[in-house]
Structure 1
Amino acid sequence: MKTLGYAAHSADSALVPYHFERRDLRSNDVAIEILYSGVCHSDLHTVNGDWGPQPYPLVPGHEIVGVVTSIGSDVTKYNVGDRVAVGCMVDSCMECDQCSHGEEQYCRNGMTPTYGAPDRQTGDITQGGYSKHIVVREEFVLSVPENMDMSKTAPILCAGITTFSPLRTWNVGEGSRVAVIGLGGLGHMAVKLAVAMGAEVTVISRTKKKEAEAVAIGAKKILASTDAEEMKASASSFDLIVDTAPVKHDLNIYTPLLDVDGTLVIVGQIGLMDEPLTIPLVMGRRRVAGSLIGGIKETQEVLDFCAKHDVYPECEMINIDQINTAFERLAQGDLAHRFVIDMASLSAE
């Protein structure tokens, strides 16, 4: 299938229009016309080569919403015209213990990311959602509930599931005391989801300049990490801290905020400073954990949860030719919303 996308051709080049081929449908494949593609901070890091060499040319995008245009002969879950979505992965071994209980992101043999990775059968490099079409294995396609606004759904496929999964894993519910470090694309979704689950939520940021935004989406307040007295007064205040900060930072600032048996869970790709963590962890039986997106079953669960509770990311709609400007804005600051590309804007290329 011939299609058109926007690709980076090197770590220091802008994204430009790129004509390429999608694979022919296998028997278990679903072909999708992409209507909306979310812009994730990890897209920027990846195309810039921040996380290592990349197989350019590279079409990023792993927050994908669209409609089914054709299906393989063995597909049973989807029909032409269905509203569907694709997230951060498009394949896994489907045989190991992790895949068997719905944790494909931890596949023992390695899951296949939506872009920048070799296809498990052909070795061709996967290309992402900044394009008009995509072909994906049936098991890695999600259903978009009929009542959902598709123009606001795409970021749930990464920012949503990445924050929903630890909230579920650590049993957040009525009465839970949750803090969220950072109010960017991930952080604002963590706040919205935790509030919808019944938690009391505090945002932790360097300053209080985003306090009005935090309160508007359900947070109780912002705690300024640079205010030593306020941080000291907030010791042992939280059951769970969701760390979404995308830059290097010292966890020693935050771990004393955990109550006994509290957990700080890292969901962002960050570099941590080398100061020892042991004293605040040992003295309070605290934990530092990590979490990587979520499995397909859980991703469907967050879509259904957001539809039921009317939870959407804050979205700024852009045309595809604005993507390089959007990347510049992402690099300059941690925006409290997500960019979403209206892929109809690609048709004129």
Structure 2
Amino acid sequence: MTTVAAYAAPAAKAPLERTTIERRAVREHDVLIDIKFAGICHSDIHQAQEGWGQATFPMVPGHEIAGVVSEVGPGVTKYQVGDRVGVGCLVDSCRECDNCKAGAEQHCTGGSVGTYNAVGKDGEITYGGYSQKVVVDENFVVRIPDGLSLDVAAPLLCAGITTYSPLKHWGAGPGKKVAVIGLGGLGHMGVKIAHALGAEVTVLSQSLRKKDDGLKLGADHYYATSDPKTFKELAGSFDLILSTVSAPLDFGAYLSLLRTGGALVNVGAPEEPIALNLFSLIGGNKTLAGSAIGGIAETQEMLDFCAEHGFGAEIELINADQINEAYERVQNSDVRYRFVIDTATI
């Protein structure tokens, strides 16, 4: 066991505070990672505040982890000391079900294990990346390409794969018109990735406040959804709409923006249920879908794709004692576009 410093929420909705946690000794197939940077995902806030249901405390959030390998178990074959690596939303799965065998560990029917606020196969609570070190099975670690600096790579472990996976699955590419709802931590990565895939990209945001940013990130068009004319002008325009917001939407209005056979895919997860008139789906053979991160192999594919195209996340680097302030700013949509903790300050 190794004692390391961390930032934890002691109870639901309580401010995070500095503490210490125990990391397990390195097992045969484990990798010990010195965490260098950890992204702050809106999911961290939802879970620390029990917005998605009952949680386990104390909670050390963080599933956007970038660091360097400092020790490997005797059976490790994929990594060695000094390698630049990342850990995303999962640290284990059953590895035996059809989904796991197909590389979709995020949909493990035996129960995947989250990087934090979960119980591992050993019965121990998992603690996330707001800490100095983490021990993870090598099969749930990914390699960060040399073309990506660790700080801008960290948010790719959730925000990157969460947008890359549905964009690839639903065929974003040349000749396709893609809209991204929201230009936040997820949305700005959706714009970058959809643009790099070759799609014509439109941002749908509440206002035009971030229009210049959106266009610089790769959007071809930018519209304010607070303007009723937007929905009239863009009716029937898009092959794919990616919703990255965590607030309830008028899905009927957004479905009207799809072409026949188009899809609206949700990666944002509002805490409240939504209402939907099914005629907005039936008319035009439209699809309302959801998507959750990606498997380990696809996460590696995404990292390689981002490195090949020369981009990571747009970040604001903060010290650990600024985490609570950062949570407030995320909830107020006051970040461009991902907070990343310099874990040397923990």
TM-score, length-scaled by structure 2: 0.97
- One-letter amino acid of the structure 2 residue matched with residue 62 of structure 1: H
- Counterparts of 2:217 and 2:171, CA distance in 1: 21
Aligned to 1:93: 94
- Counterparts of 2:184 and 2:335, CA distance in 1: 5
Aligned to 1:230: 230
Structure 1: segments with no counterpart, 5+ residues: none
- Counterparts of 2:230 and 2:269, CA distance in 1: 27
Shift of residue 325, structure 1, vs aligned partner: 0.6
Q: Secondary structure at the match of 1:10?
A: coil
Shift of residue 95, structure 1, vs aligned partner: 0.5
Aligned to 1:23: 24
Aligned to 1:7: 8
Q: Do the aligned partners of 1:183 and 1:335 also contact (CA within 8 Å) in 2?
A: no
- Counterparts of 1:290 and 1:19, CA distance in 2: 37
Correspondence list, 1:113-128, <5 A: 113-121=114-122, 123-128=123-128
Shift of residue 233, structure 1, vs aligned partner: 1.8
Change (3 A) 1:94 1:244: same
- Counterparts of 1:23 and 1:149, CA distance in 2: 28
What percentage of residue pairs aligned between the two structures are identical?
49
- One-letter amino acid of the structure 2 residue matched with residue 184 of structure 1: G
- Counterparts of 2:315 and 2:276, CA distance in 1: 37
Aligned to 1:342: 342
Q: Secondary structure at the match of 1:288?
A: strand
Q: Secondary structure at the match of 1:254?
A: helix
Change (3 A) 1:272 1:213: farther
4+ residue runs over 6 A deviation: none
Q: Secondary structure at the match of 1:253?
A: helix
Aligned to 2:289: 289
Deviation per CA, 1:72-92: give whole Å up to 9, x if none. Answer: 111100001111000000000
TM-score, length-scaled by structure 1: 0.97
Deviation per CA, 1:221-270: give whole Å up to 9, x if none. Answer: 22222222221121111000000111112211100100111000000111
- One-letter amino acid of the structure 2 residue matched with residue 329 of structure 1: R
- Counterparts of 1:93 and 1:273, CA distance in 2: 32
Shift of residue 168, structure 1, vs aligned partner: 0.6
Aligned to 1:145: 145
Shift of residue 6, structure 1, vs aligned partner: 0.3
Does residue 104 of structure 2 align to residue 103 of structure 1? yes
Q: Secondary structure at the match of 1:222?
A: strand
Aligned to 1:243: 243
- Counterparts of 1:259 and 1:177, CA distance in 2: 10
Aligned to 1:75: 76
Shift of residue 275, structure 1, vs aligned partner: 3.8
Q: Do the aligned partners of 1:225 and 1:253 also contact (CA within 8 Å) in 2?
A: no
Q: Do the aligned partners of 2:316 and 2:335 also contact (CA within 8 Å) in 1?
A: no
- Counterparts of 1:254 and 1:48, CA distance in 2: 29
- Counterparts of 1:314 and 1:38, CA distance in 2: 11
Aligned to 2:318: 318
Q: Point out the more displaced range, 167-176 or 223-232.
A: 223-232
Correspondence list, 1:254-265, <5 A: 254-265=254-265
- Counterparts of 2:208 and 2:299, CA distance in 1: 32
Does residue 37 of structure 2 align to residue 36 of structure 1? yes
- Counterparts of 1:171 and 1:334, CA distance in 2: 31
- One-letter amino acid of the structure 1 residue matched with residue 287 of structure 2: R
Does residue 176 of structure 2 align to residue 164 of structure 1? no
- Counterparts of 1:180 and 1:157, CA distance in 2: 19
- Counterparts of 2:226 and 2:62, CA distance in 1: 34
Aligned to 1:306: 306
Q: Do the aligned partners of 1:223 and 1:231 also contact (CA within 8 Å) in 2?
A: no
Shift of residue 272, structure 1, vs aligned partner: 4.5
- Counterparts of 1:334 and 1:345, CA distance in 2: 22
Shift of residue 334, structure 1, vs aligned partner: 6.0
Deviation per CA, 1:271-293: give whole Å up to 9, x if none. Answer: 343241x2221111110011000
Aligned to 1:174: 174
- Counterparts of 1:338 and 1:232, CA distance in 2: 32
Deviation per CA, 1:194-243: give whole Å up to 9, x if none. Answer: 00111110011122222111111111122222222221121111000000
- Counterparts of 1:179 and 1:272, CA distance in 2: 23
Shift of residue 148, structure 1, vs aligned partner: 1.4
Q: Secondary structure at the match of 1:160?
A: helix
- One-letter amino acid of the structure 1 residue matched with residue 154 of structure 2: A
Aligned to 1:268: 268
Shift of residue 12, structure 1, vs aligned partner: 2.7
Q: CA RMSD in A?
A: 1.1
Aligned to 1:50: 51
Structure 2: segments with no counterpart, 5+ residues: none
- Counterparts of 2:282 and 2:210, CA distance in 1: 33
